[in-house]
Amino acid sequence: MDYKLLANEILSGVGGKENINAAWHCATRLRFKLKDESKADTQKIENLDGVVTVVKSAGQYQVVIGNAVAKVFEPLAQLADLENTDNQDTETTTNKKENIMNRFIGFISSVFTPFLGAMAGAGILKGLLALFVAIGWLTDKSGAYQIWYAAGDGFFYFLPVLLAFTAAKRLKVNQFVAVALATTLVYPTLVAISGSAQTINFFGIPVVSTTYTSSVIPILLAVWVLSYLEPVLDKVFPEAVRNIFTPLFSLMIMAPLTMIVVGPLGASVGTLLSSGVSAIYNTAPAVAGAILGAFWQVFVIFGVHWTFVPVMMNNISKLGYDPLLPILSVAVLSQAGAALGVFLKSKDKKMKSLAGSSVATAVLGITEPTIYGVTLKLKRPFICAAIAGAIGGAIAGGGQAHASSFTLPSLLALPTYLGSGFTSVIIGLAVAFILGTVLTYFFGIQRSKETLASSVVVNEKKPGNEYLAVPIEGTIIPLKNVKDEVFSSEAMGQGVAIVPTSNIVKSPVEGTISAVYPTGHAIGIISKDGAEVLIHIGIDTVELDGRYFTTLVQQNQKVTQGEAIVEFDREAVKTAGFDTTVMMIVTNTPDYNISVTPDTTTKDTQWVISLAEKNTKNETMDQGEIKHV
């Protein structure tokens, strides 16, 4: 594959280098902070050979590549001059302010991503050394063991130094001042004092005796505080002496402040997190294992899995082990098993090839190609994998399995799980993989629909069925085409999407308003016959905070079919950079079999959604024009 050509096509697809605020990559994804996401041609990018899919999550525009992501990023960085781009001020060049959660997730991912591979390698090395000692290949006194152990453990011992460097880059402060601050925390003399009965003070102020080696939260808090102090010092000192005096006073102020206040505060937060995780895990380990095993890949899809990384590393630092990592490996193996099930059952050559290669990558801990290319695309295999992960996770969790070192959850991480509960991990992994394969093989592939995640079926109108009118004039499209994974995957339920040509949203049913969102972008309705309907106007339009939306109904208000419920400024929403597609979802989908059909009983064509018994026809409809509602 020509990676430079692919990089050039992706760069063009995201709107060129002038539309990029920042860009980096993780193990499988190119991650962009774009100035204006509406300038990105998502469909063009997704159709490129070498791109698995595009995900918009955590305030990032993510292009999923797979194992070759580094080979694509290298020419991309050169073409886009990313070193200069990354230094731009995102607050002044972006149109939309991110919410706190997105900013936090983006911060965590950008801090850990640069050294994630090296960290995983160091963790596996420590696990292998434990295995070699256990089977008698090495002794912990041998020179080979001590050198290799220093290579593996040294990474985690000086982890605050690495975190300081990447966090400073993210927060745009002097990276070397941040590193100097981190080396203060792990300075041998201070570490020795903390490990002994000695106490020290700073001009009479007692310094809390705490060990910061291998810690995560204290240095991140310290660099965050530094990011506020440094600009103030830059304003105080004239440019002629700023390069010397700003670092000088930064260290003079931050070193004692970190040792006296910020560091102990971060250590206390870390202790609380570890204690909380331990309390939940110890109360019901099998339940915790089942929940994590089932939903871990859902967290990956939405990007929130990064919030677990500092928690897991903090557990290892504070407790000496982490109970979550073995369960996550189970969840990963369940996806590999589901991909194998698709490979064995699928008749589609392209899908069979993709599923086969996805098995290997998932076993090694890279699940994005498996999720977006196979299991989530076909939907049922993803559900099968979640079930298998829940059962395998319950086994691993119930056996009190734990990891002695941090690494990517995968089969390669097995040596780090040696010790208490190791047998339960082996059983959990095997059950998740085998069950994922078997469930997918027998229940995961829909006959003649293996590449159709969300079909729209044409059916005749039948007496006695409940019908929902499409709520707005425009062009109806299958839900699978919506550029939002939550809707396109039908995770919230089945329905349709409409590219609107009107500004008035009308009630699709006679019923009661069950939910009115303050931002006006969504309305919930319960029909008189019990259908729970969600009308969602636009994608990510909650960020507009109600601008351009006028709600015409109130909570618990009775409405008739066709009654206006929301008015919005479609052009203004589009100009603000948001997709205006309107989604109508039946959230209690399991109670119905849903189809889209033209109502031939009216003089002019009216599209309606039928909540009926199982359809007898299998004609698929890609799109249609709505005449009236």
Q: φ, ψ for residue 103 (rounded to 5)?
A: -65, -40
- Longest Cα–Cα distance of the chain, Å, equals 90
Residue 26 falls in the annotated catalytic set? yes
Q: At what angle do helices 325-345 and 380-398 cross, to 10 degrees?
A: 140
Question: How far apart, in whole angstroms, are the C-alpha atoms of residue 336 and residue 393?
Answer: 15
Given 26, 384, 402, 521, which residue is catalytic? 26
Catalytic residue list contains 536: yes
CB atoms within 10 A of CB 70: 15
- DSSP per residue over 111-148, as a string? HHGGGHHHHHHHHHHHHHHHHHHHTTS--TTSHHHHHH
DSSP string, 366-416: --HHHIIIIIHHHSHHHHHHHHHHHHHHHHHHHTT--BSS---SSGGGGGG
Residue 58's region, left for phi above 0, alpha for psi from -120 to 50, else beta, is left
Question: 435: Cβ–Cβ under 8 A, 6 or more apart, which residues?
Answer: 334, 337, 387, 388, 391, 392
Give the containing element (helix H, strand E) for 288. helix 285-302
Distance CA 499, CA 354 (A): 32
Give Cβ neighbours of residue 49 (< 8 Å, ≥ 6 apart): 1, 6
Q: What gap in Å lies between CA 144 and CA 136, rounded to an integer?
A: 13
> Which residue in the block uniquely carries the two structure tokens 């390698």?
121
Contact (CB, 8 A) for 337 and 388: yes
Phi, psi at 319, each rounded to 5°: -100, -20
Token look-up 């990891």 returns 403
Burial zone of 20 (CB within 10 Å; 0-12 exposed, 13-18 middle, 19+ buried): buried
Q: Which of 24, 64, 63 is nearest to 361 (CA)?
A: 64
CA neighbor of 502 nearest in space, from 585, 584, 575, 564: 564
Gyration radius of the chain's alpha carbons: 27
Please tell me which residue in 25, 384, 536, 628 is annotated as part of the active site. Answer: 536
Interatomic CA distance for residues 336 and 369, integer angstroms: 11
Q: Which residues pair with 526 in a beta bridge?
A: 512, 532
- CB burial of 220-232 (b: ≥16 within 10 Å; e: otherwise) equals bbbbbbbbebbee
Indicate which residues carry an active-site annotation. 26, 536
